[in-house]
Structure 1
Amino acid sequence: MREYRANLERLNGIYKDLLALAKRKEEILLNHDWKGLEALVCVEEKLVYQAGIAERARLESHSRLCGAMGLSEQELTADRLKKEFPDDAHLIALIDDLAGTVDLLLRQNDLNRELISSSLSYVDFMLKVIADAKGGAKDPAPTYGSDGRTRAADKAVAHLLDTKR
């Protein structure tokens, strides 16, 4: 049980670090600090890698604990651990803290995903506006002739400024 608890503590610590980074990422996204985002993502990748290692260690100790308790790995859930060890206040607090941290991390990541999506939509919109303004649109905006009818913009239309197109 000591090994399992240590693995939970390590995993919880990594998730808390990821949560702190996710909150920092929100600030970075709101401030459009793309260089800061790049640096943060590098740190985040290392923590995610560490989380994977910690999770593998937790799964191994989980398997050993299940064997010692005569349970299948699917039977030994967080709720079952709390029932099996009701006097282990540290374990119960750790399980609850880990669950809370994971929940907060999921919510923060959802918010950050929305912020990223919004930023990408804005960039896409601006690129389309710029492309259209430079004549990059497939269907140029219509112009009006002297007869009031619309026609597609082309080289034959007189422009206000004398520029070659």
Structure 2
Amino acid sequence: MTFAALIKILEKQRQLHTSLYQLAVEKVEIIKNGDIHALNQMLKDEQSHAAAITMMEKERLKAIAVIFPNSSQHRTIRDCIALAEGEEKIKLIELHQELVSILENTKKQNDLNEQLIYQSLKFVNFSLNLLRPKQGAGTYAPPYGKQQQRPANGSTSVFNSQA
């Protein structure tokens, strides 16, 4: 039984996940700089990576189905490692460890990016609240307890143009 097809698929997955991780690392500076255009482009790149990873995952499942043709269970890379021998086993172990490591690093990086975006949003909301006047807190309102008197002609203008 050969695991060559599975190994090629896992190598492609490793490459895609490594590239996706690099995008997540680059996203930190984009978020810090507040570059919305670059962030939108980054999201498009991540979506294309996710689509390619999904396609490769389907290929991986097909390759595992070939290795375990009569199995109704969901088989994993660990199941393949248990069945493999020699160089193929060593390569599968290496790829498995690398993929797990890359996925853990990507998750940590995405968590950091999420926190940065959250902090950026809090700052933007804080800044907007500073610039936005509060309702009913006008600077030129009469003191509490005094009623504002309107002119007899019904005008609410501050200036008297007839004087």
TM-score interval, smaller chain: 0.7 to 0.9
Separation (CA, whole Å) in 1 of partners of 2:145 and 2:26: 51
Q: Say whether the 8 Å CA contact 1:29–1:115 is kept in structure 2.
A: yes
For residue 12 of structure 1, the aligned residue among 11, 14, 17 is: 14
Q: Say whether the 8 Å CA contact 1:15–1:102 is kept in structure 2.
A: yes
How far is 1:22 from its partner? 0.3
TM-score of the pair, normalised by structure 1: 0.74
RMSD over aligned Cα, in angstroms?
2.9
Separation (CA, whole Å) in 2 of partners of 1:86 and 1:3: 15
Q: Which residue of 1 aligns with 2:83?
A: 84
Q: Which residue of 1 aligns with 2:155?
A: none
How far is 1:142 from its partner? 8.7
How far is 1:107 from its partner? 0.8
Q: Which residue of 1 aligns with 2:23?
A: 21
Separation (CA, whole Å) in 2 of partners of 1:139 and 1:77: 64
Structure 1's consecutive aligned runs of 4 or more residues displaced over 6 angstroms after TM superposition are 141-146
The residue type paired with residue 131 of structure 2 is I
Q: Which has the higher contact order (CA 8 A, sep 6+)?
A: 2
Q: Which residue of 2 aligns with 1:140?
A: 137
TM-score of the pair, normalised by structure 2: 0.75
Cα 1:91–1:126 change in 2 (3 A) is: same
How far is 1:38 from its partner? 1.9
Structure 1, unaligned stretches of length 5 or more? 157-162
Separation (CA, whole Å) in 1 of partners of 2:110 and 2:80: 28
% of aligned pairs identical? 23
Structure 2, unaligned stretches of length 5 or more? 151-157
Deviations 1:34-65 (A, max 9, x none): 22212222222211111111111112222222
Cα 1:7–1:150 change in 2 (3 A) is: farther
How far is 1:145 from its partner? 6.7
The residue type paired with residue 83 of structure 2 is E
The structure whose Rg is larger is 2
